[in-house]
Amino acid sequence: RIVYVNGQFLPRAHASVSIEDRGYQFSDGVYEVCLFLNGKPLDFHLHMDRLDRSLAALSINPPMGRGAFKVVMDQMMRRNRLRDATIYLQITRGVARRDHAFPAFPPAPAIVMAAQRFNVAALREKQKAGVAVISTPDLRWKRCDIKTVSLLGNVLAKQAAREAGALEGWMVDAQGFVTEGSSSTAWIVDQQGRLRTRRLAKDILPGITRHVVGDIAANAQIAPVEEPFTIAEAQSAKEAFIASTTSSVTPVTQIDGVPVGDGTPGPVTRDLIDRHWRHVL
Ligand code: PDD
What one-letter code names the amino acid at 26?
F
Taking the whole predicted model, whether its pTM rises above 0.95 is answered as yes
Asked whether the ipTM of the predicted complex exceeds the cut of 0.95, the reply is yes
Kindly tell me the burial class for residue 255, based on how many C-beta atoms sit within 10 Å of its own C-beta (0-12, 13-18, 19 or more).
buried
What whole-number distance in Å separates Cα of residue 187 and Cα of residue 190? 9
Measure Cα distances from 212 to 82, 115, 197, 219 in Å. 25, 23, 13, 11
Output the pLDDT for position 74: 98
Domains plus CATH for the chain? 2-118 (3.30.470.10), 123-280 (3.20.10.10)
Output the pLDDT for position 231. 98
Residue having the nearest C-alpha atom to atom 9 of ligand 1: 184
What are the residue numbers of the active site? 147
Binding site membership of 183 for ligand 1 (Cβ less than 6 Å): yes
Cα(104) to ligand 1 centroid in Å equals 32
Q: Is the CB of 154 under 6 A from ligand 1?
A: yes
Nearest-angstrom CA–CA distance, 144 and 180 = 10
Statement: residue 281 has pLDDT above 90: no
Contact 212 CB / ligand 1 (< 6 Å)? no
| Segment 176-210, tens digit of pLDDT | 999 999 999 999 999 999 999 999 999 999 999 99
